[in-house]
Amino acid sequence: MTYLLALDQGTSSSRSIVFDAQGRIHAMAQQELPQIYPRPGWVEHDPLQIWHSQLATARQALKQAGIQARQVRAMGITNQRETTVLWHRSSGKPLHHAIVWQDRRAEPACAALRQGGHEARIQRSTGLRVDAYFSATKLQWLLDNIPGARAQAERGELAFGTVDSWLIWNLTRGAAHVTDVSNAARTMLFDVQRNQWDQELLELLRIPPAILPTVQPSASAFGQAHADWLGQALPICGVAGDQQAALFGQACFDSGMSKNTYGTGCFMLMHTGGEFQLSGNGLLTTSAAQTAAGAPQFALEGSVFVGGAVVQWLRDGLKAISHSSQVQDLAATVPDSGGVMLVPAFTGLGAPYWQPDARGTITGITRGTSIAHIARAALESIAYQSTALLQAMQRDAQAAGAAPVTALRVDGGACVNDLLMQFQADLLGVPVLRPQVVETTALGAAWLAGLGAGLYAGTDELASLWQAERQFLPTMSAERAAESMQAWEHAVRQATAA
């Protein structure tokens, strides 16, 4: 039997999953990744811990599956995006901890870019808003704050990469300094229409081109993992950032196909085909995973800052439940939220609102309100925020003359909550489809690796492998759904009021 090994390097853990050619999971191993908080608003990882934990889980997954590396056709990598690593080319040693995507230390540099009138130019090239979220200003900070780093970079002695590049460098023992288009698209340095680094932006941010990785299609030959690591050399044939990998693993290959990942936050992506389109509704434009050179593929992306985290707040803050899994049973003890609206703007509101100063609110409380009503309102807030995202995507699609969304494919930890998924379908007015394999991020990396290694003929074959475990059909009238969304938007305005 032919197997594929997916390395899934996330923010809180490193995981490895062994899939067979039909996309079935045979083994999974995971290690927690320690978080480092040097100052308020700063978040770091130890790059060596990233590498060592990822290698350890790969070995463990192969052992659990009871297979040898020679039975693995190819390896795929998916990773936390935007997190920035800088290392010495000669020794492979990092100069500093990795600066994680959540880190806000580069906000002053972003403010200077906005004040300098550069935002529109940057968005036209990269599809991104100017924000400390992305890699460019994190890398700029490293070059400016590590003694001697900029001079070493200009001499070509250093290498920069997102986590995929760092893992590939180590797997290949420094033979390959590469990345894929979906990760490059999250640096705020990459021209996504021309599929190349933007020289003007590199000059603007004083980034020496010599430190950048080579950019390849997401399904291509990225190098060989050295035989010392897993017992035999393995080809690395698929790479994509986690959200684009999930879009691929959900078999969203055509324009208008959409997925939502329900994790701590929510990440929604809509495939928009080969046409670059800037959002008029507060979304980002990003590169989708690409299976061939010279064929750019794009997606609209929106992020909800607080998704499943609102359930953690019910557990840890309100002590309403002792385990997150209990929230559905508590919420189901009431038929609805009783008019209660909870806007979980604990850290501001993300797309499509972009209100960093918003704060959480609970409205509509009466003498009859119980903790069950608040729990239900908390769950429903995840669906409301996701609906606002999809409606923004629908408006962008309509403006571009694209096909409307006809279904939403879902994954992530909270997608197992049937009550939430049903309410999501009711608000959207389209079916919500939960796949049989909910590990879609790792599956996307495995499928890309299989394509890159020639195991699959093309995306049509992969689309035939994707299967729904359950379909949630809308039961609410369109009028009532619209009224519910109007009530939500009213609650949002209250949360954002000065």
Cα 202 from Cα 199, distance rounded (Å): 5
Asked if 358 and 324 count as a contact pair (C-beta separation under 8 A), the reply is: no
125-171 pLDDT tens trace = 999 988 888 999 999 999 999 999 999 999 999 999 999 999 999 99
Do residues 241 and 187 lie in contact, with contact meaning Cβ atoms separated by under 8 Å? no
Is pLDDT of 477 > 80? Answer: yes
Return phi, psi of residue 24, to 5°: -85, 140
Q: Residue 166 is encoded by which pair of tokens?
A: 């760092």
Residue of higher predicted confidence among 348 and 468:
468
Q: What is the dihedral of CA 23, 25, 29, 32, to 10 degrees?
A: 70
| Residue ranges at the known binding site for ADP | 11, 15, 264, 308, 413, 417
Residues annotated within a binding site for sn-glycerol 3-phosphate: 11, 81-82, 133, 242
Task: Say whether pLDDT at 372 is over 70.
Answer: yes
- Helices and strands in the chain, H and E counts: 17, 23
For domain 3-243, which architecture applies?
2-Layer Sandwich (3.30)
**What is the pLDDT confidence band of residue 264, given thresholds at 50, 70 and 90?**
confident
Where is the binding site for ATP, in residues? 11-13, 264, 308, 312, 413
Instruction: State the average pLDDT for the chain.
Output: 92
Residue list, annotated binding site for glycerol: 81-82, 133, 242-243
pLDDT in tens, 230-245: 999 999 999 999 999 9
pLDDT score at 40: 80
Q: What integer pLDDT is reported at residue 346 of this predicted model?
A: 82
Predicted confidence band of residue 1 (pLDDT cuts 50, 70, 90)? low
Question: How large is the average pLDDT for residues 293-304?
Answer: 86
Query: Once rounded to an integer, what is the mean pLDDT over residues 384-405?
Result: 86
pLDDT for 11: 84
Token representation of residue 228: 């010392």
Give the global pTM.
0.90
Q: What's the mean pLDDT in 364-390?
A: 92
The pLDDT of residue 265 is: 82
Annotated binding-site residues read 11-13, 15, 81-82, 133, 242-243, 264, 308, 312, 413, 417
- Angle, helices 163-171 vs 47-65, to 10°: value is 60
Mean pLDDT, range 102-124, rounded to an integer: 91
pLDDT at 402 over 80: no
Domain residue ranges in the chain? 3-243
